[in-house]
Structure 1
Amino acid sequence: MARYSKEMKAAIIQKMMPPNNVPVSQLKKDTGITDATLYTWRKQARVQPGDGKNPDQWSAEDKFAVLMETATMNTTELSEYCRKKGLYPEELQQWKSDCITGSSKPAESRQAQAASQRSDKKRIQKLERELKRKDKALAETAALLVLSKKAEAIWGEREDD
């Protein structure tokens, strides 16, 4: 297992980060370090996705980080950034509106959701009580059936008068 100096690791991670965005396959060829090691380093450094990964598969943290990174950019810089990352500016606008609407849910919506949860909980409790009652009735019926079969086995068939 090879050990790499902190300086070398930092330099390679810097190459993986924007604005360079050197692909892992290229770094593997250049440095001779395995791709698994490079991917691990990149993951540990929390380098933003953009290496051909579909933006729909990005985590919420990654999307938010991109929004924070692009918040101060002008249109030209934003367009260049989006090209590098394989994004569309419209996607960034959608992510921004999702963040805003997600963080500003109205109180009525939360209250309605809480009321719905309470009614669901009551319904679940009612159904559980009914299920227990039916289980007891089924167990009683099974016990009576077993007893009747035992009685038949001991005394024989019942004679009707």
Structure 2
Amino acid sequence: MAYSRERKASVIAKMLPPHNLSLRQLSREEGISEGTLSRWRAEARAQGKLLPDGQSGPKGWTARDKFAVVVETAALNEAELSEYCRKRGLYPEQIQTWRAACERANDWEQAASRQIAKETKGDKKRIRELERELLRKEKALAETAALMVLRKKANAIWGQSEGEDE
């Protein structure tokens, strides 16, 4: 079934903020299959429109959607950003948080390698301490074993003295 451009545009508009209707709800209201609505949303995204998946607000948005918002708002001044946020149902603080996350994303490898190096250093220190403790215990065990062997030899040579018990 072919739908008019106007109908398609009005349905897509219901997927956008402030409505943010889910595909299931929109399918029931409009009588259009979820598959068709999903295809329309994918086509609109390919054209550069921001159509988040979730109806749970910005918390349910994908990383791709958040990145798209950061790119769209990068050149906006404070007034334009506020207007953008009102239209999309967002807060400027959310966009700032997403922007910071995007900036940190490029440093992920360095941060991860620093964290791994820190953990490795701690692990190496712990291993050294455990090896030292193991060596100390092995020496104590060897000394105790040597004393027992000497005691047995002494008892064999001189016999057991009266005050000693075996």
What TM-score, normalized to structure 2?
0.49
Computing the radius of gyration from Cα coordinates, the structure with the larger value is 2
